[in-house]
Chains A and B, each alone.
Chain A
Amino acid sequence: MAEHTVKAFTEELDALTQEVARMGGLAEAAVNDSLTAVARRDTTLAQSVIERDQKIDVAQRDIERRAIKLFALRQPFATDLRVVLTGWRIASELERVGDLAKNIAKRALILNQAEPITLTRSVERMGKLAAAHLNQVLDAYANRDVQAAIAVWHQDDNIDAHYNSLFRELVTYMIEDPRTISSCAHLLFIAKNIERIGDHGTNIAEYIHFLVTGEEIDTQRPRADNEPGIS
């Protein structure tokens, strides 16, 4: 697309987009590291995720400040309006992703004190799925690739399905051995957090669709989980 007559406007929009991409990198790293901290029982890494969350919050405030300035001083229209609005919305999704990763890391600290349980592997697999989901949607944002965003949008079912089967496994495990209830409950919350991370990735995919086409994704996302009260 051609540059604005006022070059500073183009620069400010580009800077906003880059800041969102940078924040995406921070959130993605937090998710990956929190999952590794659970899988490898790595307390130091979990601590690091918890401390780094503040950087993600700072990035979100910075993006909001840039967006407010653009709205107030440049009155963006059309694609420019969508760039600013989408940047703002994605930043708040990423901030939530950061919080969920932080929560996973906090639970890792507790799990690391208890006996290891085998179901951690299933949670790990689900985590990899959500992390890949987030990675793909952030790539789609960087490339303004609406097809890639739609592909991510359709994948969320997998994560939901995984969550539902994990839920059943964990319940069975707890019934069989009540001593694992505490750890299993934390794993269940971790799985729920991962499922929520997947949802935020899906929301970001929707915003990318709006950013590129100017229109909302018009079909309802098919849901794999037909079990009420689970996800």
Chain B
Amino acid sequence: MDFAGVERATGAVGMAAPTVSADAGSILGAPIKVSARDVNVFYGDKQALFDVSIDIPDRAVTAFIGPSGCGKTTFLRCINRMNDTIEGARVKGSVQIEGKNAYASDVDPVVLRSRVGMVFQKPNPFPKSIYDNVAYGPRIHGIARGKAAMDEIVEKSLRRAGLWDEVKDRLGSPGVGLSGGQQQRLVIARTVAVNPDVILMDEPCSALDPIATAKIEELIDELRANYCIIIVTHSMAQAARVSQKTAFFHLGKLVETGPTEEIFTNPRDSRTQDYITGRFG
């Protein structure tokens, strides 16, 4: 794929999936979307990630789990180069998205981040109308040609985020006026509006009540038909519910990856076992 382009490649075009899997947890039949090799991250003198290698499948949800400070969010932020924005942070190793190194010198991080969208812990809608929140990305990237095309993108994105029916009569109202769960779905609509390749979610439900959480989880399940989704979560039950592949991080290292079902019934590593069963001292 080309990071300078705005059209999302459909089908197998440009999918130069690596043939060698770095980990046992490849999902059967799913092409690899993101492939990281020997990723090391330093914050100043302190090393936060050690030699992380993982293949992340397309059209599936991959969950990163691990105790606080284990490096899961740091690794997530390597994928769309959000660590570039942190002073003193250095990233070594390679992160390939559809075979293209995200850290290559010709990659514009701003364009990269439109290909790799991100949803944060706290919903962060812009202080604009619901419509403009969703239209913002397509507008600055020049995706829509004319009002009708933009209307269509906004509706489609809000529908994908499961929010359309709740907001269609008040698209001009401020986004921040929605409930927490609706705001988070608005942010997801904003993310999908620019047709990303990958969606990163960093604790997307930790500020939401169980019903709003269930709606987001249902949404994640629907979105995985079209996107590569990576979610960081502290809720083991949530990782078990929404993901097909799980990666366990501990002390900056990727300890174990595998099909979610296997990780939660029969993990290989005793550290994974101790963490998911609540035995960490």
The answer to whether B279 and A4 touch across the interface, beta carbons within 8 angstroms, is: yes
The answer to whether B279 and A77 touch across the interface, beta carbons within 8 angstroms, is: no
- In angstroms, how far is the closest chain A Cβ from the Cβ of B42? 31
- A4 CA / B240 CA spacing, docked (Å): 19
The answer to whether B277 and A214 touch across the interface, beta carbons within 8 angstroms, is: no
**Residue among B236, B240, B272, B278 making CB contact with A9, cutoff 8 Å:** B278
Contacts of A75 in B (CB 8 A): 236-237
Known contacts A75-B237, A77-B236: A82-B277 contact under CB 8 Å: no
A79 contacts the other chain (Cβ, under 8 Å)?
yes
Kindly supply a per-residue 1/0 record for chain B positions 215-246, scoring 1 wherever the CB is within 8 Å of any chain A CB and 0 otherwise: 00000000000000000000011001000000
Give the 9 A-B residue pairs with the shortest CB-CB distance, closest first. Answer: A214-B266, A2-B279, A77-B276, A80-B277, A77-B264, A4-B278, A78-B273, A78-B277, A5-B278
B281 contacts the other chain (Cβ, under 8 Å)?
yes
- Can you show 21 pairs from A to B with CB atoms below 8 A apart? A1-B279, A2-B274, A2-B281, A3-B279, A4-B277, A5-B278, A6-B278, A9-B278, A75-B236, A75-B237, A77-B236, A78-B265, A78-B266, A78-B273, A79-B273, A79-B277, A80-B277, A213-B266, A214-B265, A214-B266, A215-B266
Complex: chain B residue closest to A215, CB-CB: B266
- In angstroms, how far is the closest chain A Cβ from the Cβ of B9? 38
Contacts of B266 in A (CB 8 A): 78, 82, 213-215
The answer to whether A76 and B265 touch across the interface, beta carbons within 8 angstroms, is: no
Interface residues of A in 77-112 (CB under 8 A from B): 77-82
The answer to whether B236 and A5 touch across the interface, beta carbons within 8 angstroms, is: no
- A5 CA / B264 CA spacing, docked (Å): 18
Contacts of B272 in A (CB 8 A): 78
16 more CB-based (< 8 A) A-B contacts, given A1-B279, A79-B277, A81-B264: A3-B279, A4-B277, A4-B278, A4-B279, A5-B278, A5-B279, A6-B278, A9-B278, A76-B277, A77-B265, A77-B276, A77-B277, A78-B266, A78-B277, A82-B265, A82-B266
- A5 CA / B278 CA spacing, docked (Å): 6
B99 contacts the other chain (Cβ, under 8 Å)?
no
| Residues of A contacting B: mostly | loop
Kindly supply a per-residue 1/0 record for chain A positions 5-43, scoring 1 wherever the CB is within 8 Å of any chain B CB and 0 otherwise: 110010000000000000000000000000000000000
Which one of B236, B276, B279 has the highest number of Cβ atoms from chain A below 10 Å of its Cβ? B279
- A18 CA / B265 CA spacing, docked (Å): 22
Contacts of B264 in A (CB 8 A): 77-78, 81
B174 contacts the other chain (Cβ, under 8 Å)?
no
How many residues in B have their beta carbons less than 8 Å from beta carbons of A? 16
B93 contacts the other chain (Cβ, under 8 Å)?
no
Contacts of B281 in A (CB 8 A): 2, 5
Contacts of B180 in A (CB 8 A): none
Interface residues of B in 256-281 (CB under 8 A from A): 264-267, 272-274, 276-281
The answer to whether A81 and B265 touch across the interface, beta carbons within 8 angstroms, is: yes
- In angstroms, how far is the closest chain B Cβ from the Cβ of A60? 24
Contacts of B273 in A (CB 8 A): 78-79
Complex: chain B residue closest to A80, CB-CB: B277
Kindly supply a per-residue 1/0 record for chain A positions 206-223, scoring 1 wherever the CB is within 8 Å of any chain B CB and 0 otherwise: 000000011100000000
Complex: chain B residue closest to A214, CB-CB: B266
Interface residues of A in 46-92 (CB under 8 A from B): 75-82
- A3 CA / B240 CA spacing, docked (Å): 22
- A4 CA / B279 CA spacing, docked (Å): 4
- A79 CA / B272 CA spacing, docked (Å): 11
- A53 CA / B71 CA spacing, docked (Å): 56
- A150 CA / B277 CA spacing, docked (Å): 27
- A5 CA / B276 CA spacing, docked (Å): 11
The answer to whether A78 and B278 touch across the interface, beta carbons within 8 angstroms, is: no
The answer to whether A78 and B280 touch across the interface, beta carbons within 8 angstroms, is: no
Contacts of A76 in B (CB 8 A): 277
Complex: chain B residue closest to A3, CB-CB: B279
Complex: chain A residue closest to B279, CB-CB: A2
Contacts of B278 in A (CB 8 A): 4-6, 9
- A6 CA / B277 CA spacing, docked (Å): 10
- In angstroms, how far is the closest chain A Cβ from the Cβ of B63? 13
Contacts of A3 in B (CB 8 A): 279
- A80 CA / B236 CA spacing, docked (Å): 14
The answer to whether B237 and A78 touch across the interface, beta carbons within 8 angstroms, is: no
Complex: chain A residue closest to B262, CB-CB: A214
Contacts of B280 in A (CB 8 A): 5
Which one of A75, A79, A215 has the highest number of Cβ atoms from chain B below 10 Å of its Cβ? A79
- In angstroms, how far is the closest chain B Cβ from the Cβ of A77? 5
Contacts of B277 in A (CB 8 A): 4, 76-80
